[in-house]
Structure 1
Amino acid sequence: MVKVEGFAADGYDRVRQVLQDLVDDGRETGAGVSVWKDGREVVRLSAGWADAGRTRPWRPDTLVQPYSLSKAFVTIAALVAVRDGALALDEPMAAYWPEYGAHGKERTTLRQVLTHRAGQPRFPADAAGLDLLDDAALRASLASAAPEYVPGTSLGEHALTYGHLVDGVLRAGAATTLREVFDEVVRPALALDAWFGVPDDALERVADLEYADPEWPRRLHAAPWLRIPAGALDTRRANSTAWRQSVFGAVNLHTSATAMAAFFSRLTDEEGPVRALLGASLHDELLASQVTGFDEVFGTRITWTLGFVRDRGKIAKGGIGGSAAWWSLRHRHGCAYLTRRLDDHSRAAEIAAALGDDLTVVGED
């Protein structure tokens, strides 16, 4: 029997028991859980193994790729450029990136990208032959493609394209890159143990991803939006050093549960680091409900802020495969469940329920 390690303060014992049950039932093979309340970590739990060979126990500082949870930090990097006056949320991106302003994208704005309404929820068919790590060619494919719908008229998470769209406009309009803004501004300002491009000395902390079921990638509702370029859900590719040290902004941040729960615990704080980084106006924009509608990629009704999902109970972001992090508007705690075992979100939902939270995605009008 694999024992869950770590601590849970008084009143949080149920969280430990749920995680232990997930391990005992074989539904979890490697995960971290963290909860922050009133400025301190009240739960820090480690379950199972960090590697496929089950030789490295999961530790509090284990890093793992949480897929779309990465997008929250792409958003913040974009807003840093808005803060600095290099970009504007409602200016056509073509004003900065002329190549992008073609085939119906002439009026597409950064706000539409950040709220998943830019009409490019996937890479175009002619990008199918591109390598997953050929970021210049992938950016160019988005610039030259027609949108799938008139920007601003529909909704669908920009599953793989989000980071490349933001990186493209940062390069063109702010003379910088997503990696540079994250490394030089966002990560130090927010004191994040999180990486777009894991450094050499942190590679030994990275967990190997594995499928709960080999058929999992083909069963996903979002599968049609994840096929181009090939390899985003291929664990052999995702577990490679080349991928871990690259930047694929939509999905390949590597971080720990403690780091994500701490971040979410300070997300709404008017004296916190996110507001200090962005300023009051952009912080308010970041957290405000921007659009509600049926998200084609999620397959449900949803409310987006600039980069987060929001309803009456939480501000959250999850990733395909089961990882999730959130700020509970009801209970005022920040939580994260990060896993290496790629499956659905039922495990995170059970952890949330033990805390009195509900991870159901609900559109907020």
Structure 2
Amino acid sequence: MKVEGFTEEGYDAVRQVFQRLVDEGRETGAGVSVWRDGREVVRLSGGWADVQRQRPWRDDTLVQPYSLSKTFATLAALVAVRDGALALDEPVAAYWKEYGVRGKDRTTLRQVLTHQAGQPRFPQEAADLDLLDDAGLRESLARTAPEYAPGTALGEHALTYGHLIDGILRAATGRSLQEVFDSVVRPALALDAWFGVPDTELERVADLEYASPDWPRQLHAAPWLQIPDGALDTRRTNSRAWRQTVFAAANLHTTATAMARFFSSITSEEGPLRELLGPQLHTELLTSQITDHDHVFGTRLTWTLGFIRDRGKIAKGGIGGSAAWWSLNHHHSCAYLTRRLDDHSRAAEIATALGDNLAVVGED
């Protein structure tokens, strides 16, 4: 299948790599976008948006990038900090009273945002809850003890991240994560991205599919993704009910162009992200907060409040292969969003064509 779209001069290698991925069958539906100097210099679409292979992937196709979603849950929390409704280093229990039990009374928002709150997965008591039982899952996190003392270890809060932030926002502001995202974050950043896809946009959403039937069981993060049942089950994640709910650790739906455009200005002192958060919080967002062994990833990495950072990039990835990053070395951004759930080798090859190293972007 021919790859559609454009590449400006100097970016032909990106098209060649992407075309090869499609030709070899390693990619069955994805979009690539690269931004530099405030404009899109690469926009490519390849493969199909549906399992039946009747809808070609378009440049406005929406897809779920799993943990790339977490960055935008972070921004909803930081808006509340900006407004004075929350503070990064005050105990969460000062707002969410029910949360301050069983060793969680001193847990801070900063620890939640940097995956140090000790709740990298939902507790066993949540095993019988439905994937879409938003309130029940939040309450299970409030009742249960952390797996480790908050602030003493690191492990990406793979499925719990959005529910924790949502619970804190509801308690502190009376508004849900979705309400803050829809009313403040999305319009301020002009994002084509949705927590809860509206009826008018559903026809743009791509179906997820496994690269192999064993894919969910091959993941290093699999033990942290089992409760509640269904987060990796495409029968659930391709359903209208899932697409229109909010599971903010995983189910933002967005486009490659929207993500690359967002990442293109994350460090800008005149950009919309700094305007949204203000100089102090913008700096906090991008500053390295902790470097340690992340037990969920199984590797040593550095977290900011909302990204993974190293000497060459500020990035976030999602289980299944989607990734977006800002190159600190080359001053361009790139997003590779896919519906074919596999490893990150495809995005890594695109990164290599751009002179970037995508060694660690996040596995869930």
Q: Same fold (TM over 0.5)?
A: yes
- Between the aligned partners of 1:111 and 1:225, the Cα distance in structure 2 is 21
- The question of whether the paired residues in 2 share the 8 Å contact of 1:36 and 1:261 is answered with yes
Query: What one-letter code is carried by the residue in structure 1 that aligns with 2:264?
Result: S
- Between the aligned partners of 1:234 and 1:203, the Cα distance in structure 2 is 19
Corresponding position of 1:304: 303
For residues 41-56 of structure 1, what are the structure 2 equivalents within 5 Å? 41-56=40-55
Corresponding position of 1:93: 92
- The question of whether the paired residues in 2 share the 8 Å contact of 1:303 and 1:362 is answered with no
For residues 11-26 of structure 1, what are the structure 2 equivalents within 5 Å? 11-26=10-25
Where structure 2 has 5 or more consecutive residues not aligned to the other structure, the ranges are: none
Corresponding position of 2:325: 326
Corresponding position of 2:70: 71
Corresponding position of 1:243: 242
Query: What one-letter code is carried by the residue in structure 2 that aligns with 1:326?
Result: W
Corresponding position of 2:268: 269
- Between the aligned partners of 1:239 and 1:91, the Cα distance in structure 2 is 38
- The question of whether the paired residues in 2 share the 8 Å contact of 1:301 and 1:362 is answered with no
- Between the aligned partners of 1:278 and 1:245, the Cα distance in structure 2 is 27
> What do the CA deviations read for 1:101-155 (whole angstroms, capped 9, x no partner)?
0000000000000000000000000100000000000000000000000000000
- The question of whether the paired residues in 1 share the 8 Å contact of 2:315 and 2:361 is answered with no
Matched residue of 2:235: which SS? helix
Query: What one-letter code is carried by the residue in structure 1 that aligns with 2:188?
Result: A
- Between the aligned partners of 1:269 and 1:63, the Cα distance in structure 2 is 26
Where structure 1 has 5 or more consecutive residues not aligned to the other structure, the ranges are: none
Corresponding position of 1:223: 222
Matched residue of 1:187: which SS? helix
For residues 1-365 of structure 1, what are the structure 2 equivalents within 5 Å? 2-361=1-360
- Between the aligned partners of 1:115 and 1:359, the Cα distance in structure 2 is 21
- Between the aligned partners of 1:146 and 1:313, the Cα distance in structure 2 is 37
Aligned-residue identity in percent: 79
Matched residue of 1:348: which SS? helix
> What do the CA deviations read for 1:206-235 (whole angstroms, capped 9, x no partner)?
000000001000010000000000000000
> What do the CA deviations read for 1:135-183 (whole angstroms, capped 9, x no partner)?
0000000000000000000000000000000000000011111000000
Matched residue of 1:351: which SS? helix
- Between the aligned partners of 2:205 and 2:265, the Cα distance in structure 1 is 25
The alpha-carbon deviation at position 361 of structure 1 amounts to 2.1
- Between the aligned partners of 2:360 and 2:152, the Cα distance in structure 1 is 21
Matched residue of 2:316: which SS? strand
The alpha-carbon deviation at position 343 of structure 1 amounts to 0.2
> What do the CA deviations read for 1:310-362 (whole angstroms, capped 9, x no partner)?
00000000000000000000000111000000000000000000000001129
Query: What one-letter code is carried by the residue in structure 1 that aligns with 2:95?
Result: Y
Matched residue of 2:283: which SS? helix
Per the normalisation by structure 2, the TM-score is: 0.99
Matched residue of 1:82: which SS? helix
> What do the CA deviations read for 1:285-306 (whole angstroms, capped 9, x no partner)?
0000000000000110000000
Query: What one-letter code is carried by the residue in structure 1 that aligns with 2:239?
Result: S
- Between the aligned partners of 2:240 and 2:266, the Cα distance in structure 1 is 31
- Between the aligned partners of 1:97 and 1:116, the Cα distance in structure 2 is 18
- Between the aligned partners of 2:125 and 2:133, the Cα distance in structure 1 is 14
- The question of whether the paired residues in 1 share the 8 Å contact of 2:195 and 2:244 is answered with yes
Matched residue of 1:336: which SS? strand
Query: What one-letter code is carried by the residue in structure 2 that aligns with 1:283?
Result: H
Query: What one-letter code is carried by the residue in structure 2 that aligns with 1:214?
Result: P
Matched residue of 1:361: which SS? coil
Query: What one-letter code is carried by the residue in structure 2 that aligns with 1:358?
Result: N
Matched residue of 1:233: which SS? coil
- The question of whether the paired residues in 1 share the 8 Å contact of 2:323 and 2:361 is answered with no
- The question of whether the paired residues in 2 share the 8 Å contact of 1:301 and 1:361 is answered with no
- The question of whether the paired residues in 2 share the 8 Å contact of 1:302 and 1:362 is answered with no
- Between the aligned partners of 1:287 and 1:235, the Cα distance in structure 2 is 33
Matched residue of 2:213: which SS? coil
Matched residue of 1:90: which SS? coil
The alpha-carbon deviation at position 11 of structure 1 amounts to 0.3
Query: What one-letter code is carried by the residue in structure 2 that aligns with 1:195?
Result: W
The alpha-carbon deviation at position 307 of structure 1 amounts to 1.2
- Between the aligned partners of 1:212 and 1:306, the Cα distance in structure 2 is 31
